[in-house]
Amino acid sequence: MKGNFIDNLPKVYGIYTGGFIGFIIIMAIAEQMGMTAKAIGIAFVAFTVFIYALIGWLSRTAQADAYYVAGRQVPTVFNGMATAADWMSGASFVAMAGGIYFKGYGYMALLVGWTGGYVLVASLLAPYLRKFGCYTVPDFIGTRYGGNLARFSAVVVLTVASFTYVTAQINATGTIASVALDIPFQYAVYVGLISILLCSMLGGMRGVTWTQVAQYIVLIIAYLLPVFWISNKMGAGFFPHFMLADEVARIGELEQQFGFVKNAAADLKSVPKGLAGITKAHSAVNATPWAFISLALAMMMGTASLPHVMMRYFTTPSVKAARKSVGWSLFFIFLLYSSAPMLATLSKLSLIDPNLPTGIIGKTFAEVEAIDWYQNWNQANLMFISDFNGNGTLELNEFFMGGKAVVLATPEIAGLPYVISGLVAAGGMAAAMSTADGLILAIANAISHDVYYKIIDPKAETAKRLLVARVLLVVIGFAGATIAAMEIQGILGSVIWAFDFAMSGLFFPLVLGVWWKRANRQGAIAGMLGGLAAGTWYLVWVRTGGSGFLGITQLTFGIFGSAVSLVLMVVVSLMTTEPDKATQKMVDDVRVPSGKTILGKSH
Amino acid sequence: MSNQQKHWEKTRSLLFITLAIWFVFSIGIFLFGAEMNEVTGPFGYPWTYWFTCQGSLGAFVILIFWFANRQEKIDEEFGFSEREDE
């Protein structure tokens, strides 16, 4: 191919997309010719992971600015795709539709929160941090406020938030690898980890960028294809997003008809852990305004504080491109997020509507237990039925399912060929891997650049710095995998906590660093450490039986943490001396897009 | 007032407008979630349900692109836009 790689990007990824679609078709033909479901699953995961590893190897580099910020030459649209993959984790891909399925409106606050946050990213932070020219988020804090303590505090907040997040992602890659490759979870976690490290170790941010673009393409095809296919197969409409109003209304009707019968506590004990029944209305407003708004607000502010997202905008060629790139990121995220409620609707209706051939409510237990897919998913511990009232027919309150089953099982329930299930597994793997890569890199870069190079050994040569960065990458990856293998927390809960930790410690120190010239070092340190401590205290308090206040729950503790952070930062800043002239000049320079970056090309 | 101060003043007003629109779609409408859901909205979905699935999300996408264009205009007006070779 002629010309440099960047100019050829549309062609390269065009060929890649075509190749992937070709692979899906070949697998579909192979299935018809008798290839087993297990072999198809293995082929999908192995083939895609091999491609990512290849991209990772081709992107290897020995230069600091390529390793940390992909050489700052990632075009707007491609950075948008990479950010979307970075952003949409295993939780978005596998768990989100399930959450909507079970909890309806109250849960959909996450959809609003995880998209609305990008408005804050675009208007408050991304373009200014790009102008700053930093390699990492603590790099900005350390230079803007000055001093090693400020820099170190930012590294602490970043590590707490990102590490909470990354264990969940490694857990998700492990779950998918263990199902697709049919190996025990304890080993599958490490298979997942090695796949993750193959993408990031040699090329750093450059490798991660180009694998994330590839992963986005896989995950979006894997999510949208089944949604459209199922919708068409059920006769619900060829473009589900605009045509499911009747289905949504029909679910409401059925809910009225069946009613939400409350199960006795003794009956619920027999239900396997992690499975839930339908107990909340699908489209009706089932949460108070504050419950909805507080969750959305926490997720929005968290979005704007998460370093692995912010650092993606350090890779664009210009400030202008950074702004546009945020728009593209959200557009690519929108494609998946607006489909999740549609998938939840289709999945729920196909299971509960007695008029549909797939509906199981109202059938006898013997009938349901004879269905192939019920047996499969019951064995996988994701579906369960029990005749609580002893009448022999399945009622709405007697059917239980795992959240993951909405994405994983619906294609099979709707009668799609197995090749789609293989594709979904590859998509889930791509989603979890891309987020894990972004997070591990964010932590390793912060420690190698901000702690090792800026604080411990400022004279280190590039080769030594990058070696330290890579060693840290492996160490952090293994630490994450070890904790993931212990299976302490659920995927979704820890993801939400990560947002709360990040906003508690970083939101105001970042925003005020640009928008309030008077903010100084003492204020920022108080804001970061005080906010993080306050948020953590609130979480522990509520978890250990505290009653909480103002309706702030363990999922929204960041609202309390960030409020404390804001107050501390303003009060302490005003009580101490204002920043010196040089710092004020620096803030002025950050506010205009033209001119040189604050930090040099390599620093 | 210097050129740079004027530029910042305009940038700040744009921020406030952007945040006001953001507030409406992320918080404002959900204050009236229960009432709004009684009314049929786009494509036949109830209004609040539609906003949580598509409406607010789409509004954010459009808002960011609109904001980026306005900010570029402001930067050009005061001669602060980046040159291609930087």
Is it the case that residue A589 has pLDDT exceeding 80?
A: yes
Percent of chain A clearing pLDDT 70 (strictly above):
98
Least CB–CB distance from B46: residue in A283, A337, A338? A283
Q: For A9-254+290-304+311-346+417-590, CATH number?
A: 1.20.1730.10
B17 close to A (CB below 8 A)? no
Q: What's the pLDDT at A30? A: 92
Asked whether residue B2 is domain-assigned, the answer is: no
User: B47 lies in which domain range?
Assistant: 21-77
pLDDT confidence tier of residue A145, bands split at 50, 70 and 90: very high
A55 exposed, middle or buried (CB, 10 Å; 0-12, 13-18, 19+)? buried
- Give the CA distances from residue A392 to residues A270, A351, A376, B12, B66, in Å, rounded to whole numbers and listed in that order: 17, 18, 22, 66, 58
Q: What is the pLDDT of residues A450-459, one digit of tens each?
A: 887 888 888 8
B10 close to A (CB below 8 A)? no
Which residues fall within 8 angstroms of residue A541, CB to CB, at 6 or more apart? A548
Q: What is the pLDDT of residues A184-211, one digit of tens each?
A: 888 888 888 888 888 888 888 898 999 9
Q: Average the pLDDT over each of A5-19, A134-148, A258-272, A295-309 and give the range with the smallest value.
A: A258-272
B19 vs A contacts (CB less than 8 Å): 119, 123
Least CB–CB distance from A119: residue in B22, B30, B33? B22
Asked whether residue B39 is domain-assigned, the answer is: yes
B75 vs A contacts (CB less than 8 Å): 320, 592-594
Least CB–CB distance from B60: residue in A115, A242, A588? A115
Q: What is the pLDDT of residues A207-223, one digit of tens each?
A: 899 999 999 999 999 99
Bridge partners, A393 (sequence order):
A364
Asked whether residue B40 is domain-assigned, the answer is: yes
Q: What is the pLDDT of residues A515-567, one digit of tens each?
A: 999 999 999 999 999 999 999 999 989 888 878 888 888 889 999 999 999 99
B46 secondary structure, DSSP code: B
CA-based nearest distance B86→chain A, Å? 8
Least CB–CB distance from A112: residue in B56, B72, B83? B56
B81 close to A (CB below 8 A)? yes
What distance separates the 2 farthest-apart alpha carbons in chain B? 55
CA-based nearest distance A331→chain B, Å? 6
Q: Quick one: average pLDDT of A431-439? A: 89
What are residue A384's phi and psi, to 5 degrees?
Answer: -160, 135
Chain pair A-B, CB pairs under 8 angstroms:
145
CA-based nearest distance B76→chain A, Å? 10
Is it the case that residue A3 has pLDDT exceeding 70?
A: no
Which residues fall within 8 angstroms of residue A573, CB to CB, at 6 or more apart? A518, A519, A520, A522, A523, A524
| Average pLDDT value over all residues in chain A | 88
Contact A79, A329 (CB under 8 A): yes
Whether the predicted interface score ipTM is above 0.85: yes
Interchain CB distance below 8 Å, A293 and B31? yes
Asked whether residue B43 is domain-assigned, the answer is: yes
B39 vs A contacts (CB less than 8 Å): none
Q: What's the pLDDT at A2? A: 52
Is it the case that residue A601 has pLDDT exceeding 70?
A: no
Q: Quick one: average pLDDT of B17-30? A: 94
Q: How far is CA A321 from the centre of its chain?
A: 23
A516 exposed, middle or buried (CB, 10 Å; 0-12, 13-18, 19+)? middle
Q: What's the pLDDT at B86? A: 45
Q: What is the pLDDT of residues A294-319, one digit of tens each?
A: 999 999 999 999 999 999 999 998 99
The encoded tokens of residue A382 equal 């994701």
The encoded tokens of residue A157 equal 């907040």
Asked whether residue B86 is domain-assigned, the answer is: no
Q: Which helix (H) or strand (E) holds A434?
A: helix A418-445
Asked whether residue B6 is domain-assigned, the answer is: no
Is it the case that residue B84 has pLDDT exceeding 60?
A: no
- Sheet containing A399-402: order of strands: A275-276, A399-402, A383-385
Q: Quick one: average pLDDT of A272-280? A: 83
Contact A296, A558 (CB under 8 A): no
3-state secondary structure of A430: helix
What pTM did the predictor assign? 0.92
Asked whether residue B85 is domain-assigned, the answer is: no
Q: Average the pLDDT over each of A109-123, A253-267, A501-515, B69-83 and give the range with the smallest value.
A: A253-267
pLDDT confidence tier of residue A488, bands split at 50, 70 and 90: low
CA-based nearest distance A508→chain B, Å? 16
Rounded CA-CA distance A265/A263 in Å is 6
3-state secondary structure of A393: strand
- Give the CA distances from residue A168 to residues A5, A303, A359, B8, in Å, rounded to whole numbers and listed in that order: 34, 17, 33, 41
